């Protein structure tokens, strides 16, 4: 493992804190390293927020932790295909300021994943990576937006659909 001891301690503490407090954040079903011998690659599972067109969906995230974490933000992207104004449909890239310019070492992997979960219910159509979804919201077509999102959620994020 090439992870520095300070980064490893921080990540192990974050994992311990998540496991201890997991019940307090039902929207984050899973957060863990992919392998025991590499703390720099994690996976997370978000549950679609109730009352949203993502409800019932389970969305997997891939998290790449940089060597200089927490001074640098993790790279996080959706593995599960998702239709959202702030997510590039083809790559899973996420447009969220805390993953770039607004990052602070006070953020943890857990709090960052929870911010992404919040973004599902509160899209920002003014900074889109999915222009089609953003245009529906900008034009006030909320029914069209919810229908489009629900269709993709049923197709990609709900296993029994």
Q: Which of 54, 52, 49 is CA-nearest to residue 26?
A: 49
102: tokens are 């607004």
Kindly state the tokens that stand for 81. 């295909």
Whole-Å CA distances, 48 to 26, 91, 151: 10, 19, 14
Alpha-carbon gap, residue 116 to 131, rounded angstroms: 19
The pLDDT of 69-80, averaged and rounded, is 98
Question: Which DSSP category does 109 fall into?
Answer: H
Tell which residue, 3, 125, 93, has the closest CA to residue 15.
3
47 counts as catalytic: no
Q: For residue 121, count CB atoms less than 10 angstroms from its CB and return exposed for 0-12, middle for 13-18, buried for 19 or more.
A: middle
Which string of DSSP letters, residue by residue, matches 62-84? EEE--TTTTTSPPEEEESS---B
- Write the class of the CATH domain 5-156: alpha beta
Coil, helix or strand at residue 34? strand
Confidence class of residue 46 from pLDDT cuts 50, 70 and 90? very high
pLDDT tens track for 83-113: 999 999 999 999 999 999 999 999 999 999 9
Place of tokens 């909320």: 142
| Average per-residue pLDDT for the chain | 95
Q: Which of 47, 83, 95, 113 is catalytic?
A: 95
pLDDT tens digits along 48-68: 999 999 999 999 999 999 999
Could you tell me what percent of the chain has a pLDDT over 90?
94
């Amino acid at each position: 493992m090439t992870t520095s001891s300070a980064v490893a301690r921080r990540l192990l503490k974050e994992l311990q804190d998540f496991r201890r407090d997991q019940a307090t954040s039902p929207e984050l079903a899973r957060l863990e390293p992919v392998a025991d011998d590499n703390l720099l690659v994690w996976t997370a599972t978000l549950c679609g927020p109730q009352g949203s067109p993502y409800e019932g969906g389970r969305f997997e995230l891939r998290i790449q932790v940089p060597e200089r974490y927490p001074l640098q933000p993790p790279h996080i992207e959706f593995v599960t295909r998702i239709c959202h104004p702030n997510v590039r449909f083809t790559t899973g890239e996420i447009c969220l300021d805390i993953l770039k310019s607004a990052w602070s070492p006070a953020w943890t992997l857990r709090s960052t994943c929870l911010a992404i979960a919040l973004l599902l219910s509160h899209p920002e159509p003014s900074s889109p990576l999915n222009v089609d979804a953003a245009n529906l919201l900008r034009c006030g077509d909320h029914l069209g937006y919810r229908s489009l999102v629900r269709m993709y959620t049923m197709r990609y994020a709900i296993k029994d659909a």
